[in-house]
Structure formats: C-alpha cells, structure tokens
C-alpha cells in the first residue's frame, strides 16, 4: 500500500479528510449492517436530537505502524466498552461491542495510506461517534441514531511535542458529582470551551479542574487524566467518579507496576499536596503523556522539580515503555494490540 505524500513529521492535531469512513444507522430498534463510504458530508433533520439537546457521544483512539510494518490499534475493546457506558447514560442504543471493534479495524484498513510510517512521530487518530438523528422537540431521547467512525492522521496534541506545559487551576467546574464527567459525551466538551479559551487567553496551556463539591481535590484536564510521581518514585493518579476512565492512564498504571516495578496508587489527590510531587503528566490518547512543568493556582506558582526543559525521568520511562508497546518495540500484554488484516 503506497502511503500518501504528507509531511508526516510536521502534521499537527487537526482534521485531514481521509478516503473512507464507516456508517451504520439505527432505526425501528435495530442497527443496519453498516458500510464504508467515501461521503464525508451529512444531511440530518433541522430538529435532530444532536442539534437540539446535544445527544452525542464519541471515542478517541489511534492506529500505529509498528517497527516491523504491521498496522495495529491499541485496546479497542476498552473504547467499545466505554462507548457502551456513554450510550447508556445518554439513553442511546449501544452499538454492539464486537461490531465496534470490527468497524474500527475496517476503517483503519480502508485508510492504510494515511497511517503514518513508523518513526514519523505521527499516528492515525480514529474518531468513533454516535448521535441522535431523528427530530425531537420535547426533551426526550431521539428514536433514530447514526454511528460513524472517521480517521485522520495527527501529530502531537500540544504544540511543542513533549515540552513541559504550564497549566492553571480553573475557576470553572468540568463535571458535577453524579453528572456526566465519567462518560465521553459531547456536552462535556462544549461546556469546557469557555474554560479552555480563558486559560489560553491568560497564557496557560491547559486547565486543572477540581472536584465541584469541595474544590479541594484534583480531577483532570479537559482532555486527559493526571499522573503524579512522588519524590520516592511512586506513581499516583486521582480517584474520582466524575473523571473519564482514561484507557491510557489505566495502561500506564499497569506499565508502571508490571514493567517498571514501581509502586502505584489510585487515590484522592488534594490541591494542597501538589507542591510535594516530583513530576506531573497529562495522559490520554491524544496527549500520550504530556509533562507538566508548572501549575499556577491563582497567582501561586507550583514548579515541579522536573522543570520546564524536559520530561521528568519517571514520566520519560513511562512514555518510552507505553509508546514502545504501541509501536511493537516492547512486548505488549496479551490482547493490547489488535492488528488489521
């Protein structure tokens, strides 16, 4: 398969239209058989559930070219399961999980020419999503839905790649207790736009959101979970029912313990203990692990000892091991890599 002539090393995190996308429609209580299409434009009712009441959910995942030239996806079964949880919370039909994985592989295979080559630093981002497509005017779930997956080649999520970020403690809340913070609903991102633009206008790369009830505990950013490293090399991640259960974070905690022999802990992390940590990173599919160098809490600067020059040493080991697994350089735990055929 001949690759497209893209400047792989310099693409950013943006949308580049690729050849084929997957689509399946839900009508009269059943999903149709689904198909690949080259049609990237949609026509839906002006009164569609997604347009009126934001009934939409999504996933984010990547396909990689391994060192030996295979194309693999990373733990797609976990994205399928999380999307099922998101669907149930927004009263949407579940797209069957085995079909989700099959559709991801099909979409990747159909866009092989856009899977960035090994070593380029870029990957193919896959965006499964589902929305209410039939008209609703009273507040209730739609009766018809569309499930789609498109693919787009991407580079690093944060400009500057792995340069440490400066983040701020946000005055806005991302998720309420018993709300929708633990699912991947479009509405969580719509309401974060003002917060992220405010952070950018104030010169910060990202927000640190706190728990909405007490504003004392660290939750996550708008698109990634936190990992902290203590001064004695323990890897800690915040435990909360209102953050997204990141697949990258769950994988990194496993890597820390099983590959690097580090102690790990998922527990409440308090704002007031941030100054005690040695390293901090943001982890997610798009972010991979992006190091944080400085956290600013209303004028009070917390400078991580790892500094603003490079990733901290434990963050770097975690990054190298995870990406090594994803790119086939380090043996993956059983079932983590699913190859396209």
Which residue numbers are catalytic? 184
Given a contact cutoff of 8 angstroms between Cβ atoms, the answer to whether 284 and 223 are in contact is yes
Out of 224, 236, 289, 322, name the contact with ligand PLP by CB under 6 A. Answer: 224
Q: Which does 220 bind (CB under 5 to 8 A by kind): ligand PLP, ligand COI, none?
A: ligand PLP
Q: Which does 247 bind (CB under 5 to 8 A by kind): ligand PLP, ligand COI, none?
A: ligand PLP
Using the rule CB under 6 A, is 207 a contact of ligand PLP? no
DSSP-derived secondary structure letter, 255: I
Q: How would you write 127-186 as a 3-class SS string? A: EEEEEECCECCCCCCCCCEEEEEEEEEECCCCCCCCCCEEEEECCCCCCCCCCCCCCCEH
| Binding span for ligand PLP by CB under 6 A among 10-18, 195-203, 218-226, 294-302 | 218-226
Out of 63, 247, 304, 322, name the contact with ligand PLP by CB under 6 A. Answer: 247
Q: Which does 144 bind (CB under 5 to 8 A by kind): ligand COI, ligand PLP, none?
A: none
Helix and strand element counts for the chain (H, E): 7, 17
Out of 285, 306, 315, 326, name the contact with ligand COI by CB under 6 A. Answer: 285
3-state secondary structure of 26: strand
Q: Which one, 34 or 284, has the nearer CB to ligand COI?
A: 284
The torsion angle over the Cα atoms of residues 29, 32, 38 and 44, rounded to 10 degrees, is -20
> Shortest Cβ distance from residue 238 to ligand COI (Å)?
17
Out of 49, 60, 128, 153, name the contact with ligand COI by CB under 6 A. Answer: 60
Please enumerate in sequence order all residues whose Cβ is within 8 A of that of 135, keeping only pairs 6 or more positions apart, or say none.
Answer: 45, 46, 47, 48, 49, 142
Using the rule CB under 6 A, is 312 a contact of ligand PLP? no
226-245 footprint of ligand PLP as x/- string (CB under 6 A): ------------------x-
Residue found under tokens 């974060």: 192
Given a contact cutoff of 8 angstroms between Cβ atoms, the answer to whether 284 and 294 are in contact is no
Q: Which one, 60 or 76, has the nearer CB to ligand COI?
A: 60
**Alpha-carbon torsion (154, 221, 321, 107), positive or negative:** negative
Using the rule CB under 6 A, is 73 a contact of ligand COI? no
> How many binding residues for ligand PLP (CB under 6 A)?
12
Using the rule CB under 6 A, is 285 a contact of ligand PLP? yes
Using the rule CB under 6 A, is 76 a contact of ligand PLP? no
Q: Which does 225 bind (CB under 5 to 8 A by kind): ligand COI, ligand PLP, none?
A: ligand PLP
Using the rule CB under 6 A, is 153 a contact of ligand COI? no
Residue found under tokens 């500094």: 307
> Shortest Cβ distance from residue 185 to ligand COI (Å)?
12
Of the candidates 43, 142, 134, the residue with the CA atom closest to the CA atom of residue 90: 142
Given a contact cutoff of 8 angstroms between Cβ atoms, the answer to whether 106 and 22 are in contact is yes
Using the rule CB under 6 A, is 60 a contact of ligand PLP? yes
d(CA 249, CA 245): 8
Using the rule CB under 6 A, is 128 a contact of ligand PLP? no
Helix, strand, coil share of the chain (percent; to 5)? 25, 30, 45
Given a contact cutoff of 8 angstroms between Cβ atoms, the answer to whether 339 and 69 are in contact is no
d(CA 20, CA 109): 9
Out of 153, 156, 223, 281, name the contact with ligand COI by CB under 6 A. Answer: 223
> Shortest Cβ distance from residue 70 to ligand COI (Å)?
22
Binding residues for ligand PLP, rule: CB under 6 A, are 60, 220, 223-225, 244, 246-249, 284-285
Binding residues for ligand COI, rule: CB under 6 A, are 60, 223, 284-286
């Amino acid at each position: 398969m001949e690759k497209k002539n893209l400047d792989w090393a310099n693409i950013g995190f943006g949308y580049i239209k690729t050849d084929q996308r997957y689509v399946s429609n839900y009508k009269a209580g059943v999903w149709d058989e689904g198909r690949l299409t080259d049609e990237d434009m949609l026509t839906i009712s002006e009164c569609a559930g997604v347009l009126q009441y934001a009934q939409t959910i999504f996933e984010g995942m990547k396909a990689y070219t391994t060192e030996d030239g295979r194309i693999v996806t990373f733990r797609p079964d976990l994205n399928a399961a999380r999307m099922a949880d998101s669907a149930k919370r927004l009263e949407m039909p579940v797209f069957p999980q085995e079909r989700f994985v099959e559709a991801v592989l099909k979409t990747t295979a159909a866009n092989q020419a856009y899977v960035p080559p090994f070593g380029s630093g870029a990957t193919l981002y896959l965006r499964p999503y589902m929305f209410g497509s039939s008209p609703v005017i009273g507040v209730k779930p739609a009766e018809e839905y569309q499930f789609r997956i498109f693919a787009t080649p991407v580079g690093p999520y944060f400009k500057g790649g792995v340069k440490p970020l400066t983040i701020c403690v946000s005055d806005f809340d991302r998720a309420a207790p018993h709300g929708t913070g633990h699912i991947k609903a479009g509405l969580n991102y719509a309401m974060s736009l003002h917060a992220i633009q405010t952070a950018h206008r104030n010169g910060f790369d990202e927000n640190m959101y706190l728990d909405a009830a007490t504003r004392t505990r660290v939750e996550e950013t708008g698109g990634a979970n936190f990992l902290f490293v203590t001064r004695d090399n323990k890897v800690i991640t915040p435990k909360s029912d209102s953050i997204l259960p990141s697949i990258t974070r769950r994988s990194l905690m496993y890597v820390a313990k099983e590959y690097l022999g580090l102690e790990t802990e998922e527990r409440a992390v308090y704002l007031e203990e941030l100054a005690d940590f040695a390293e901090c990173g943001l982890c997610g599919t798009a972010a991979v692990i992006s190091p944080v160098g400085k956290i600013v809490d209303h004028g009070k600067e917390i400078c991580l000892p790892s500094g603003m020059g490079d990733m901290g040493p434990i963050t770097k080991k975690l990054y190298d091991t995870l990406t090594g697994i994803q790119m086939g350089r380090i043996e993956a735990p059983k079932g983590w890599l699913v190859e396209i055929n």
